Structure 1
Amino acid sequence: MKHVPVSALKNDIQALANGNYREPAILTKNGRAQHAFATTDERETHKATLRLLEELQKGYQSLHSEGSILAKDFLKELENDFKQVHYKH
């Protein structure tokens, strides 16, 4: 990830406004990270990754609090749930 000092960005703010920063960049002040710039696509990918990690964490916590089941039992439960949803009239 590219590090860009504030002073350089002040001189080239138009480049940022025009979207000329195509890769993520860290805006630094006195050598310390202050802000991050990324494209909207990168931001959406990052958000999706965080949501996935949150769901994995929930599954991990559930595994430890509720235990696990055999794959054949899981498939049987899944099949029963499917039948209940699709064959209710």
Structure 2
Amino acid sequence: MFSKHATQRMQQRGVSGLMVDLLIDYGAVDYHRGAEVISLDKRGWRRLCRELPCPTQVLDKVRRCYLVMAEGIIVTVGHKTTHFKTQRH
């Protein structure tokens, strides 16, 4: 389920529903301020490349995306511009 904000951000940033599904299925979860931040780590990236014969453009774009979920609702999606901190409080 998507929030209105997430739907708007997906459209603005060119993130498809397929990419969101791939992040949910193969991404690693970190927690920040009570929300789940899901992005691909090295293990998820290798597994995704091995299991799905997707076009390279889609795989590269998924690798640079993340999504934020709170209470089972996708709040927003975005593109990573820097490394995420590994230890969050």
Please tell me whether Structure 1 or Structure 2 has the larger radius of gyration of its CA atoms. 1
* Normalised-by-shorter TM-score class: under 0.3
Structure with more of its chain in helix, by fraction: 1
Using CA pairs below 8 Å that are at least 6 residues apart, which structure has the higher relative contact order?
Answer: 2
